[in-house]
Amino acid sequence: MFEDKTLKCKECGNDFVFTAGEQEFYAEKGFQNEPQRCKACRDKRKNAGREPREMFDAVCAECGKPCKIPFQPTSDRPVYCSECFEARRAGYR
């Protein structure tokens, strides 16, 4: 029913693909208008005015690699790098 469309971003002027899946999502949500900005410009606009997140240095409790995390680590709880965190999370499902 839906086919991929190539649209032009009104911010940067680059072409981007409005996929069939995205079109289906828009239709399910009742959105009337197609997106006017590419993903990069939407993200940039969404994050404008927002201060960057402070990141903290830590060492992964699983693999020992250094990593950056968005919260202050404490000594009473283990910290995991993103790869080990995802692997542990997948194991709980």
Instruction: Note whether 62 and 88 are within 8 A (CB).
Output: yes
Classify 51 in phi/psi space as left (phi over 0), alpha (psi -120 to 50) or beta: beta
Closest CA to 71 of 47, 55, 87: 55
pTM of the model: 0.53
pLDDT for 93: 56
Is the per-residue pLDDT at 34 higher than 60?
yes
Helices (H), ranges, the chain: 20-29, 39-47, 82-91
Q: How much is the average pLDDT of 48-75?
A: 91
